Amino acid sequence: MSNYIFTSFKNFVYQERENEMNIRPTSYKTNFGRAFTTEETIAYSKLLNESRNNLGLKDTSSIIFDFNVPSKDGQNPAIGTTWSSSMIPFINFVKNMTGMNSIQLAPQGKIKQGNTSPYSGTTFAFGEHIIDLAKLTTSEYGNLLPISLLLGIDKKYPKDRQTREYKTDYPFVLGTYNEQGIQEKSLQIAFKNFKTKVEEENPSIKKLNKEFSIFKEKNAKWLEKEALFISLTKLYGNDDFETWSEIDKNLFSQLTSEESRQERISELKTQFKNDIEFEEFKQFIADKQQKESHKTLNEEDIKLYGDCLLGFSRSEMWANKDCFRKNLYYGGPDPNCPETNYIQTWGLPALDYTKLGECSSNGDTSKLGIVGQLLFDKYTTFFERYDGIRVDAAWQFITPFIYQETNGNFEEIKMPEVNNTIFNIMNAAQKKLNEQNTIMLEMLGLSADKGRAATLNKYPHLYSTAYAEYDESPAKFLEKGYKDGMFYAGVGNHDNDSLINMALDSEKRDLHLFGLKRDYNLNENSLKFESQEYKQQSRKEQRLEDFRTAKLAEVFTSQKQFFTLPDMFGMAERINISGKADESNWSVRIPTNYERFYFTQLSNGYGMNMPKILAMAMEMKNSNKDQTLINKCHEAAEILRQKGPMTQYEADIADREGQIGQKFEFSI
């Protein structure tokens, strides 16, 4: 069940419960967040920069899934995308309010009906579900779609429009087994218009068609195979390639001769000519939009990290069949999974590490085996697309955990440890493009100890302080030998519960408060607000808000940190329930009216009140302490905690009419 119920886009009040957090409608009254005026925003920006300098912050990263991103008003296709025109103003808002300067993107590969996890998608191919249809209405894209189609998708949305603001509607976007989704239908129209304009030699399409040809040539190594796989799934009606004919299931295996392979490829290209061209077209449009988005974000001084999957998709396994161990899969030990012999069954096909070949620390790739070459191509693709990569489940490169499934029985298959070959391959791919160290490793899990030790202070590791009771906190990482700046700390990632729900766990809350007082000499009185909105809460509500503030401040005592958008906006809904197929997984969105929503949340004590967080971080760190700066942060925090205008525009109007009381000022 969803953690919130929406019956009004305009007004929200949070009601805290012991087990959930619901948003309920209320009649209009001035019960809204006090946004800064334009003049105050300039002063606030200076305060953020000065506070960040005082704390020595290097990188503040927001974890963003494409479906999180809000849509433009009137153009809501029931899913978000970082490639949309609405992304830039939204991300600038996030940046201006939090000081964020990088994005940890979730995987952007293909997903499918029944499995919408981005961690089960493709590595090379982009997911066409996050193509921005609005851009296809512009001259840059040859006006391939009429704007009326886009507006009609929004206007004629058949379900609850309010829920759509906060939840991704995958059946509407992807379709069902009986009907195509709106995304595929729209892209088919765009493709048909593209082909017609090319045939007519329409000048508006000349540049785009040339770019398309260049894209196909550059990406031929993986693109043709992806398009052929899609065509074969239509031929057989499924993607279980082991049930296909011998030639088709082994088309790119050493079991098939080159002559037979080329003959069959030629047949398929004739039989599925339009399907293959359509797949290539979609990948071209996705690639073009990703590059545009990347360039624009860099121009806004925001770095983009791509999430590099451990596994590969069905299509990639088929296209590189000789690289994988048959019927063996990556997973992990888990004492909470007795039904699967205490194994997390990820279902990701395991690479055959005996075919890695050699790659020295100096980046010599001349002796790579077929698995090593596949990984080199994978990492090179990611470094071309992003400023750096987050490596998913990186401990598997040192101590792989492999399991076998036989008739519903699961068994761990003991594997030898791997040397530094995979990391050398990764570094070689990076050096092909630049010399910067832009790799971060996810080293969480019961099998990660050796991986952590082997990569300590060589690459930044990512940690969640949601497990601080197990000494996973910035202070404890330093005690364990980490250098500050060689780890990222966040309260939680996409697999953790929301900060709101975490605070409701009284046992966990007490354990964490004990650690905060022990490691940072936490002054709980400094967490409190002077505003009437805060004082009117019950003591229980105040304690929960204080805890949320302290947990966010904790990660800002280190040089590098991250946060999720639901935690920034104070939402109870979690991104994913790890290990469970829940209909709410991978769906939470930020609403179109995100500015109004954010300041509403702050006035009710939810979300990231950044000046309060920075003030507490400076007090907790207690080095180079500037009490004047801390006091200014508290002052700004009090304003954001008040009731008043909900947007900067409304605050400016109220200011001109003399309705703004205390105004925030700050100069360096």
DSSP character string of 465-500? GGGGGGT-SHHHHHHTTPPTTSEEEES--TTSPPHH
Domain ranges across the chain: 1-58+448-668, 320-382+392-437
pLDDT in tens, 470-498: 999 999 999 999 999 999 999 999 999 99
Alpha carbons 137 and 610: distance in angstroms, whole number: 38
Average pLDDT for 207-220: 98
Burial class for 336, CB neighbours closer than 10 Å (0-12, 13-18, 19+): exposed
**pLDDT, position 446:** 83
**pLDDT, position 25:** 27
Helix axes 220-236, 206-218, angle to 10 degrees: 90
Kindly tell me the sign of the dihedral angle through the C-alpha atoms of 598, 572, 469, 462.
negative
pLDDT in tens, 46-79: 999 999 999 999 999 999 999 999 999 999 999 9
**pLDDT, position 580:** 72
pLDDT in tens, 21-40: 333 222 223 334 689 999 99
Distances (CA, A) of 438 to 375, 455, 464: 17, 14, 20
* Average pLDDT over the chain, rounded to an integer: 92
pLDDT in tens, 107-147: 999 998 888 999 989 999 999 999 999 999 999 999 999 99
Average pLDDT for 401-427: 93
Of 429, 375, 381, nearest in space to 397 by CA: 375
Alpha carbons 574 and 565: distance in angstroms, whole number: 10
DSSP character string of 585-617? TT-B---TTHHHHHHHHHHTT-S--HHHHHHHH
Chain centroid to Cα 380, Å, comes to: 20
**pLDDT, position 82:** 98
Of 604, 599, 529, nearest in space to 40 by CA: 599
**pLDDT, position 137:** 98
| Percent of the chain with pLDDT strictly greater than 90 | 87
Whether pLDDT at 268 is above 60: yes
Give yes or no for a contact between 430 and 410, defined as CB atoms under 8 angstroms apart: no
**pLDDT, position 310:** 95
- The long-range contacts involving 210-217, CB below 8 angstroms and separated by at least 24 positions, are 211/284, 211/288, 212/280, 212/281, 212/284, 215/283, 215/284, 215/287, 215/288, 216/280, 216/284
Whether pLDDT at 1 is above 70: no
pLDDT-derived band at 435, boundaries 50, 70, 90 = low
Alpha carbons 198 and 602: distance in angstroms, whole number: 52
**pLDDT, position 33:** 64
Average pLDDT for 579-584: 78
